[in-house]
Chain A
Amino acid sequence: MNRAVCITTWREFKSNKIRLIMLFLLFVAPLFQYTVQRCQSPESMTQDLITPSGVAIAYALLWGAGVIGREMQHGTISLVLARPISIVSYVLSKWFAVGLAASVCAFQALLVEHLISAVFCPSLAFDPEFLVNGAERVLICFGTAAFLTFLSSLVSGLKDLALLAGLLFLHSISSAAIQILEYFPGGRSGNMAEQAIHIGTVFAQGIVFVLYPCVPVGYLIAGNYNEIISLLSYATMITVFLSLSIFVLTRKEFSYAAE
C-alpha cells in the first residue's frame, strides 16, 4: 500500500466541487428524510427508521467512480508507474483509499443519524442495530470499492459507471426473462428453458451478490457463526476483483506512442 497514492486520491476528490456537492446531498438527503419521518411519528420510532446500510454503495460509487480510469484518461498513471511502485501496490492503494473514505463518510452519516435518533427516541441510543448497520456499511464500502476498482481498470474516464449501468440493465433483463420462462415451463424447448433459467438465475444472483450484498454482520454479532461462510465469500469476491484489476492493468500499455 502506498501512502502517497492514497492521499492523492482523497485530495483529488476534495478538489472536485461537483463530487463534494453530491457527497453533501448524499449525506443530507437521507438524514432529512428520516428525520422528517421521526418528527411526524416519534412514538413509532423503530430501527426501520435508520437509513439502510445499502446507502454505503452510493458513497463508494461517489468516491470510486473512475478511480483508475481518470488517471488513464489524463495519462497521469504513466508517470506514477514510472516511479518504483508496483501495479499491485497501486491497485491496493486505490482500493483502500476509496474503501476507507467511503466507509468514513458512510459511518459519519450513521453517527449523526444515531445522535438525532437518540434525541427523538432515547431507547434507541444504544441500539445494537446501529452497530450492525455501521459494520455492514464498512464491508459494503470496501466490497463496492473493489468492484469499482476492477471496472475502472477496464476503461478510461468515468466509463466504469456506464459499465455498471449496463450490468444493472442486464440484471433487470435477465430477471424479467427468468420470470417469463418460469411462466411457460415444459414444451419442446423445456430443457433449454430450464438451462436458460438456471444461467440467468446464477447471473442475477451474482450481480445481486456484488451490488446488493447481504452482509451477515447482525447474525455474526448474535453468535450465529454459520454465517461466517457468507463473510468469507464476500472477502473472496473482494480479492477476486482486486486480482482481476491487477491482471488487467499488468496487461495494459501506458504510452501515447501507439496513437
Chain B
Amino acid sequence: MTETLAEPTVPKLENAGIFVKSVTKTYRGGKVKALNNLSLEVRPGEAFGLVGPNGAGKTTFLSCLMGFLRIDSGEITIDGQAPDDLATRRLVGYLPERLTFDRWMSGRDYLNYHHELAGMPANTRQADCEKLLTRVQLDPAAWVKPVRKYSRGMLQRLGFAQALIGSPRYLLLDEPASGMDPVGVMVVRDLLRQLKEEGMTILLNSHQLDQIESTCDRVAFLKDGTVIKIEDMRAATVGEEYHTIRWLIDNGADFSNESLSKIAAQAQAKVLEYENGQIKCVTEGSAATAELVKALVLGGVPIIEVRPDERRLERLFKQESISGSGKRKDV
C-alpha cells in the first residue's frame, strides 16, 4: 500500500479549471500549423485524456499549457490566470515525455533541488522527497545513485515524483508510462487512480489507450492540431460491442449453445461463437451488455470474466484516426 500525500485543495474559483479557446500555434514562421483553432475545457477534479496520431499536436498543446511555447492566437487560462504566470506554475505539475534531468545529480538530490525551486519549506524537504520517491516505488538503493545510471523506467518514476512536488492542483502528463516495465506501468496506473481519488485534475497524453480508458473521465481526439471529438467515458455507449464471456466449467454445469443463445436473445444479444466454457457475442451497447450479463447470471451461468474484444477507446480511435494519414498539415 503506497502512502498518500496531503490532499490538494479543491479550487472554489468561478473560473477554476483549464480553459483553452481558439488556440493556434505555428512553427517555422507559420509554415507548419501545430495547433489549429483548438478549444477545450478541463474541469477541476477531472481526468482528461488526449489521444491522437503522432504529429496531432498533443505535446505542443501541453507545452502551450506550461507556457513553454507562445501561442499565435487564442487564449489559455488555468484557474483564470495565464499559463506562464508564476502563480499558475505553483498549481501545475508537469512530466514531459522527453525526460531531461541533471544527470550528475542523484535522484534524491534532484527532487530536493526541485522541492526548493518549487518554494517548498526546507524543514519538510527530506521527508517530502522520500515520501514521493516511495510513492513512485523507486528502489531506495537508487535514491543516492547518479541519475545517469538510471534505466528509462527509473527516470520515468523520478520524473513522476518531480511532477508531484508540492501536491499540484493540475497534473500534466506526457506519456507517463513510456519505457516502463510491466510493474512500472501498474505503478503509474495505481498512482493515477489514487491521484484522481484525491481530487487532482489530470491531463493525460498517452498512446496507451487502455491506460487512458481506465483513468480518464473524458477523452479528446486530436488530429491536425484540432479537437475532432470529445468522448465522455462515463456515458453509456451505443452501437455494436463484441465481448468474450467465460464461465466456470468444473462445477458440473453444462450450458449448450442453444440454451445460451436463447438467454442472449432475451437481452437483444447474439452468440457468435461457442466453445465449452466461453462464448463470443455481440450486443447493442453497454446497457445491452449489462442486460446480457444479468440474464446469464440469473440463468445460472457462473461467469468468471466478461472481456471486451475491442476496447471502447481503441474502437473510437480507429473510427476517428485511421481515416487520415495522421501527418501534420503544412499550411
Q: Using Cβ atoms and an 8 Å threshold, which residues of chain B touch A16?
A: 104
- Establish whether residues B92 and A12, one from each chain, have CB atoms under 8 Å apart when the complex forms: no
Within 8 Å CB of A8, what residues of B?
A: 102, 113
Pair count A-B, CB < 8 A = 78
User: A76 at the A/B interface (Cβ < 8 Å)?
Assistant: yes
CB < 8 Å: which of A12, A75, A81, A85 contacts B104? A12
Across-interface contacts of B162 in A (CB, < 8 A): 79
* A11→B116 CA distance, assembly (Å): 15
CA A15 – CA B147 in complex, angstroms? 13
Chain B: interface secondary structure? mixed
Cross-chain contact of A257 among B34, B89, B103 (Cβ < 8 A): B34
List A32-91 residues whose CB lies under 8 Å from chain B: 74-76, 78-86
Expressed in whole angstroms, the Cα–Cα distance for A258 and B33 within the complex equals 10
> Does B12 touch A at the CB level, under 8 Å?
no
Please determine whether B92 and A76 come into contact, CB atoms closer than 8 angstroms: no
Known contacts being A75-B98, A82-B89, is A15 close to B116, with CB within 8 Å? no
* Complex CA distance for A75 and B98, rounded to whole angstroms: 9
Task: Give the nearest-CB partner of A83 in chain B.
Answer: B117
How many residues on chain A are close to B (CB under 8 Å)?
A: 27
* Interface flag for B86 (CB, 8 Å): yes
The answer to whether A84 and B119 have CB atoms under 8 Å apart is yes
Contacts of A189 in B (CB 8 A): none
Q: Is B307 an interface position by the 8 A CB rule? A: no
The distance from the CB of A224 to the nearest CB of chain B, in whole angstroms, is 45
Residue numbers in B under 8 Å from A15 (CB-CB): 104
* A4-B68 contact in complex given A84-B118, A255-B60, A255-B63, C-beta closer than 8 Å: no
**Assembled-state Cα–Cα distance A7/B288 (Å):** 62
**Complex: how many Å from CA A207 to CA B101?**
36
B123 to chain A, nearest CB (A): 15
Contacts A4-B117, A79-B94, A79-B96 given; indicate if A12 touches B27 (C-beta within 8 A). Answer: no
Asked if B69 lies at the interface with its beta carbon under 8 angstroms from chain A, I say: yes
Do B116 and A3 have beta carbons less than 8 Å apart?
A: yes
A38 and B294 CA atoms in complex are apart in Å by 100
> Closest CB of chain B to A154's CB: distance in Å?
18
A80 touches B69 (CB 8 A): no
Minimum CB–CB distance for B286 against chain A, Å: 36
Instruction: Tell me whether A81 and B68 are in contact (CB under 8 A).
Output: yes
CB-defined A-B contacts under 8 Å, sample of 20 = A2-B117, A3-B116, A11-B104, A74-B103, A75-B100, A76-B101, A82-B94, A83-B89, A83-B118, A84-B87, A85-B117, A255-B59, A255-B60, A255-B63, A256-B59, A257-B60, A257-B62, A258-B34, A258-B60, A258-B69
- B residues lining the A interface (CB < 8 Å): 27, 34, 59-60, 62-63, 66, 68-70, 86-87, 89-90, 92, 94, 96, 98, 100-105, 113-114, 116-119, 162
Q: A74-B103, A85-B89 are in contact. List 10 more A-B contacts (CB 8 A).
A: A4-B113, A12-B102, A82-B66, A82-B92, A82-B94, A84-B117, A84-B119, A255-B63, A256-B96, A256-B98
